[in-house]
């Protein structure tokens, strides 16, 4: 192995052919190099006028930020191997000391396929397993989608705010819808199950209206919720779901609202729970309360008796 000191000015930072890291700026690495200097050589590929980075994007960026004039590097000659061998080297180097995140794995697969011409079969058989992924074409497809997704969605995904399934769904919608959804997602926080439900509602509402999936998010009620500064991102997500549900299932939502109003009109304490049959399939009501002593029991039973004499009770059985 030949290692030598290279002037940092000779390195082509613009060429990212062999880049795997999603982030090339690392504060801890910067701090480490500032304190103790470069410990391990980076790997550079000699080209006509400059050097291309094979391994060490983050270290080199740190060294550049610290205005270090020279770097310690192992130099590869371009004639010694094909480009794919150099990329493989970069991949093994990364895998040897850290776990790649999903976006980085997606970047690797995308580059292997599109920049180095590796076949799907080889990607599935060799590279998926190498990166601890299941060797299946669906896994490959999902990662291609991930790499090509909207930058905002990639950001949400990296922060754990969008699931892989959501990323796949979002890859199927038009660019107009993607913009609308991306701007909405920036304002809310959704659990994975709520993501699934909301995207399904958006799809259904789009099919019903013959419109784009993003259209429903332009509803004035939705906009009002999204722009309400008093709500937390999670609250906005819940409320947005409730509005979309009402738009998709207007009669069910109306029945639920009526039931709540009529139940409240009975004036029962909160410890008495009255619930309808699921989706009002029958007029049956389930009444439940708990009492820790006889006195409490008598009090609640008396309140129920009082409620039973109110005409509002009849209306509670007439939800349709």
Partner 1 sequence: MDPYVPERILVQEESWQDDITSGILERLPGIEIRTVKSSDIRCTEQSVGIEAPLQDRNTLILMRYPGNFLKRCQGSGADICCNYYIVSCVWNCHLECTYCVLQSYLSGGALVACTNFDDLLKEVERTLKRSPQKIFRIGTGELSDSLALDPITGFSRRLVPFFAGLPNGYLELKTKSDCIANLEGLDHRGHTVVSWSVNSKRVCFSEEYKSPPLKERLEAALQCQKWGYKVGFHFDPIIHYADWESEYRETVRDIFRSVDPAGVAWISLGALRFPPHLIDVVKKRFPDSKIPYGEFVPGHHGKLRYFRPIREEIYGKMVSWIRKEDLQVPVYLCMESFTVWERCFGRQFCDASVLCEQLDKAVLGRQ
Per CB under 8 A, residues contacting partner 1 are 204, 207-208, 249-252, 255, 278-283, 319-320
Burial (CB < 10 A; 0-12, 13-18, 19+), residue 60, is buried
Q: Which is nearer to partner 1, 44 or 247 (CB)?
A: 247
Query: What is the C-alpha separation between 265 and 50, in angstroms, rounded?
Result: 80
- Taking the CA atoms of the chain, what radius of gyration do you get in angstroms? 30
> How far apart are CB 65 and partner 1 at their closest, in Å?
51
Helix axes 102-114, 83-97, angle to 10 degrees: 170
Q: Which is nearer to partner 1, 251 or 292 (CB)?
A: 251
- The CA-atom distances, in angstroms, between 75 and each of 13, 54, 64, 116 are 16, 10, 18, 21
Q: Which is nearer to partner 1, 66 or 208 (CB)?
A: 208
- List residues bridging with 276 in a β-sheet: 285
> How far apart are CB 253 and partner 1 at their closest, in Å?
10
> How far apart are CB 208 and partner 1 at their closest, in Å?
5
Phi, psi of 54 (to 5 degrees): -105, -55
Q: Which helix H or strand E contains 85, and what residues bound it?
A: helix 83-97
Q: Which is nearer to partner 1, 172 or 271 (CB)?
A: 172
Q: Which is nearer to partner 1, 43 or 142 (CB)?
A: 142
> How far apart are CB 258 and partner 1 at their closest, in Å?
11
Please, how many CA atoms are within 13 Å of residue 18, restricted to the half-sphere of its CB? 27
Q: Which is nearer to partner 1, 13 or 249 (CB)?
A: 249
> How far apart are CB 203 and partner 1 at their closest, in Å?
8
In a 3-state reduction of DSSP, which class is residue 6?
Answer: strand
> How far apart are CB 260 and partner 1 at their closest, in Å?
17
């Amino acid at each position: 192995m030949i290692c030598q000191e290279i002037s940092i000015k000779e390195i082509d930072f613009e060429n990212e052919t062999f880049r795997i890291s999603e982030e090339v700026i690392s504060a801890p690495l910067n701090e480490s190099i500032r304190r103790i200097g470069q410990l391990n050589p980076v790997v550079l590929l000699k080209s006509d006028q400059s050097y291309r980075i094979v391994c060490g994007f983050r270290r080199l960026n740190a060294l550049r930020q610290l205005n270090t004039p020279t770097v310690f590097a192992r130099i590869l000659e371009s004639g010694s191997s094909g480009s794919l061998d150099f990329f493989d080297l970069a991949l093994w180097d990364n895998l040897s000391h850290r776990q790649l995140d999903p976006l980085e794995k997606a970047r690797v697969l995308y580059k292997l396929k599109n920049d180095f011409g590796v076949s799907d079969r080889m990607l599935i058989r060799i590279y998926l397993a190498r990166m601890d992924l299941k060797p299946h074409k669906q896994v490959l497809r999902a990662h291609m989608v991930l790499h090509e997704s909207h930058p905002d969605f990639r950001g949400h995904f990296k922060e754990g705010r969008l699931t892989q399934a959501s990323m796949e769904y979002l890859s199927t919608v038009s660019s107009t819808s993607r913009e609308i959804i991306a701007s909405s997602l920036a304002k809310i926080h959704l659990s994975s199950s709520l993501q699934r439900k909301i995207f399904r509602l958006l799809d259904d509402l789009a099919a019903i209206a013959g419109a784009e999936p993003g259209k429903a998010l332009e509803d004035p009620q939705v906009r009002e919720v999204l722009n309400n500064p008093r709500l937390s991102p999670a609250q906005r997500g819940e409320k947005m779901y409730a509005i979309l549900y009402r738009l998709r299932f207007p009669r069910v939502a109306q029945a639920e609202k009526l039931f709540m109003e009529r139940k409240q009109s009975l004036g029962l304490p909160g410890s008495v729970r009255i619930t309808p049959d699921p989706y009002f399939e029958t007029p049956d009501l389930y009444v439940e309360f708990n009492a820790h002593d006889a006195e409490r029991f008598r009090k609640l039973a008396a309140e129920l008796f009082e409620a039973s004499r109110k005409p509002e009770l009849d209306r509670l059985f007439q939800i349709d």
